[in-house]
Structure 1
Amino acid sequence: MSVRSAVSAGKSALNTMGLDSSIRAVAHPVRRNILEWLKSPQLNFPDQEYGQELGVCLGQIIERCELSPSTVSKHVDLLRSSGLLESQKVGNAIFVRRSEAAIQHFKMLMAAQISVQ
């Protein structure tokens, strides 16, 4: 196997692992809802006290989900570990936002995976 083939195979495996992680992340309806809500944070979280520059406060997402904080945190952690969400801690608050680059990459990988050749 040439170096070029080995590098290409490595990239393919990495992309497949990323694709699998992202598919698992969007497999649950709560996680899909979170991604959908964060697409338009001003519309879906208008009462946020901190503005939208940093993202949406995790507490706002917990309220909207109407689930226990630990359950929502697990959903957000899975989305974050897949790369689809970014988070930032400011003081005691955690802010999350969509990673649009990762979402676009996921869409590209998914389209390549299921497209007819």
Structure 2
Amino acid sequence: MNIDVSEALKALDNPTRLAILTLLKDPKTNFPEQEADPEQLGVCVSIIQERVGLSQSTVSNYLAALQRAQLVTSQRIGPWTYYKRNEQKIALLLEALEKVI
């Protein structure tokens, strides 16, 4: 199981993407309006969009960048897409960075 460190760092090199990843670290606290269990299911993109205050298309693009970097996973249920952190890949990224830094 690998992670592209360069791709991950590019994804994190944006304050809003970094903020989204940080918010998703504690979804129950940061997204109390989420009706379904956010730790199990993830957080709906529309709720993330409301929290960060940007257009849905911008937030979707940011989440796509985080997903390409394997830092989040998504799950589509009907018309909604739910996102959550990929803790295994984040751990791999931190391990890889420890070897470099």
Q: TM-score scaled by structure 2?
A: 0.93
Q: Deviations over 1:53-110 (max 9, x none)?
A: 2111111100001001111111000000100000000001100000000000001111
Q: Which one of the candidate residues 40, 43, 46 is aligned to 2:32?
A: 46
Q: Show the counterpart of 2:50.
A: 63
1:74 alignment counterpart: 61
Aligned length: 99
Return the structure number with greater helix share: 1
User: SS of 1:48's equivalent?
Assistant: coil
Q: Is residue 91 from structure 1 mapped to residue 91 from structure 2 by the alignment?
A: no
| Superposed CA RMSD | 1.2
Q: Give the counterpart letter for 2:59 in structure 1.
A: V
Task: Between 46-55 and 103-112, report the one with greater CA deviation.
Answer: 46-55
Match of 2:11 in 1: 25
Structure 1 ranges of 4+ moved more than 3 A: none
Gaps of 5+ in 2: none
Q: Which structure has the greater CA radius of gyration?
A: 1
| Alpha-carbon distance between aligned partners in 2 of 1:27 and 1:109, rounded to the nearest angstrom | 17
Letter in 2 for 1:50: A
CA distance in 1 between partners of 2:91 and 2:45 (Å): 23
* Structure 1: 5+ residue stretches without partners: 1-13
Supply the AA of the counterpart residue of 1:44: N
Name the TM-score, length of structure 1 as normaliser.
Answer: 0.81
